Amino acid sequence: MSAKRKISPEERKQKAEERRFKIRINTVFTNVGFAHVATRDEEFEFGGRKGEIDAIYIYNNLVVVSEDTCSKTSNIGDHLNKKALFFQHLKNNKNDFVDFIRTKFLATKNAKLLDGYHSSEVVLSFAYCSRERIETSHVTKHPQINFLHHTELRYFENLVKTIRRSARFEFLKFLRFELHDLQITTLTQEAKKFDCFVLPEPPSGFPNDHKIVAFYADPSSLMELAYVLALPGLAWDFSLSGIEVESSEVEEHVILEALPVAVAA
């Protein structure tokens, strides 16, 4: 029997760096509210094609298929091209793939994830996370993939440390989810209701036709439902109980978004 090859200090260091990189990716996703579904090193066949996914992250009806690599820049191209073809196959068969996820990865431990959502309501996104720089030509070749480089990862790490889950919406924007993609309530979830009143316009200091709605909420509800959306940076229309605010019209203000909330005047 041949002796087991001893790992060199350089290899040990490389493996440690790879583990840290994977942990950093997972930490950002989970700290903004995504649930991590373990899929690494588990090859499967879907729609006649074999493949492997490093991780799946789920938030409500939003699903992110994630691939990570610590390969050198010169070696990324082939790996990325293969993954891009597999990602496109999953996207082309999205509803069937969502059903596959339910039976393959969510049947036991993660059974409640995606519960209450029809497969047609699930929105799919793809992330390619690289510790090393990716050539611009590779990025432009695959516009359907969201590239999370070291720089972006550091940015979201710092953002999450500062404002915790309030970073969620900026991260969703980075993944190119639209606000209307997000299904806030499921079939088993009831909206919370808060009584409110509309303040008179003259003392507010806001321009004409701007309405200010005030309501009282208990601290635990605010911690659970409210998010501070820092501007500029987000290009969505944010709404609260049917009141829409165009973010491009707001310069230095901070919007408090409470979802899911029904405000009764």
* Distance between CA atoms of residues 198 and 235, nearest Å: 26
Burial (CB count within 10 angstroms: exposed 0-12, middle 13-18, buried 19+), residue 117: buried
pLDDT at 3: 63
Domain boundaries of the chain, sorted by first residue:
9-181, 192-264
pLDDT of residue 248: 38
Q: What percent of the chain has pLDDT over 90?
A: 55
pLDDT digits (tens, 9 = 90+) for 77-136: 999 999 999 999 999 999 999 999 999 999 888 889 999 999 999 999 999 999 999 999
Give pLDDT tens digits for 178-230. 878 988 654 455 667 778 888 777 766 777 777 777 878 887 776 666 655 54
| Contacts by 14-23, CB closer than 8 A, 24 or more apart | 14/70, 17/70, 17/131, 18/70, 18/131, 21/68, 21/70, 21/129, 21/131, 22/54, 22/68
156-175 pLDDT tens trace: 999 998 888 888 888 999 99
What is d(CA 132, CA 152) in angstroms, rounded to the nearest whole number?
Answer: 12
* Range 9-181 classified under CATH 3.40.1350: yes
Q: What is the crossing angle of helices 150-163 and 9-31, to 10°?
A: 50
Q: Residue 196: which H helix or E strand, with range?
A: strand 192-199
Please, what sign has the CA dihedral across residues 206, 212, 218, 222? negative
pLDDT higher for 141 or 182?
Answer: 141
